[in-house]
Structure formats: structure tokens, C-alpha cells
Amino acid sequence: MSSFSLDSSMRAAFGGAFYPDGYSMVMFPDEASAVAVADDLNTQKPEVEIFHLPPATILSQITPTVSDADNPLPSAGTEGATVRAYTKLAREGHHALLIATPDEEAADWMMQAVRKVPYSMAQRYRMLVIEDL
């Protein structure tokens, strides 16, 4: 599990909102659940890129990406609303994992581990689609 640092490749080309294409973002009500899932995934496939995002990281790095997402025109997508949902949960103390899920098989494998614990929301980012998991 790695520390998260937002870079330009994880932002939408139009509006700049958080949009990490090829990754899934999963929110958990507590840190222990996030760490348990990350450990489970890492034990199975240590090569998979996994980032832990505590609430402070979500609020300082992810939340600000929506400030201009609807400027100059409202976004046609849901990336702004999705970031606002992460922000709400982070303010309540939820932790997140950002996990590389380049294809359907990887997303299914990840969700097998996620479903073992309570989770708040899970979104998979694909080209032009944010998929509820």
C-alpha cells in the first residue's frame, strides 16, 4: 500500500475533477476496514497498485478538484457529484483505497475482498464512465 499524491493523470481533461481512469475508489467507514482489504489484496497480488487515502488526504487533494469542474459550463458527467460524495464521507471520518483496476476481471477480484467488510461506496473509473460497483 502506497501513500497517495494526486497527479495530473488522475484528473479529467475537461474541468480537472478527480478522474483516475483505470482505478477504483472504495470508501470505508473506518481505517481498520480499509487496511484489512488492502492487506488482503496485497497478499494475493502484491504487484497491484493500492493507495490509502485517509480523510485528510481526500479533503486536501481530492475535494479541491471540483472547485472549477462546472466552470465555464456544468459538467456533462458525474465526476463532480462523485467527488462531493467522497468529501461528505471523508468529513464523517471515512477512509478510501484507490486500487488499480484496468479491466473487469481486476474489478471483480477487488470487489471479492471489499465485500468481506462494510464499505460505504465503490466506484470504478473507465474512459467516459464512472461505474458503481
Q: What is the pLDDT of residues 33-43, one digit of tens each?
A: 999 999 999 99
Please, what is the average pLDDT of the chain?
Answer: 89
The pLDDT of 43-51, averaged and rounded, is: 95
Strand partners, 129: 126
Q: How many domains, in total, are found in the chain?
A: 1
**Whole-number pLDDT of residue 107:** 96
Query: CA–CA separation, 57 vs 76, rounded Å?
Result: 26
Its domain, for residue 46, covers 2-128
- Flag the least confident range among 85-89, 90-94, 102-106, 127-131: 127-131
**Selection from 112, 35, 5, 6 nearest residue 122 by Cα:** 112
Query: CA–CA separation, 126 vs 67, rounded Å?
Result: 22
Query: CA–CA separation, 30 vs 53, rounded Å?
Result: 11
In a domain, residue 69? The reply is: yes
**Whole-number pLDDT of residue 81:** 86
pLDDT tier at 54 (50, 70, 90 boundaries)?
very high
In a domain, residue 133? The reply is: no
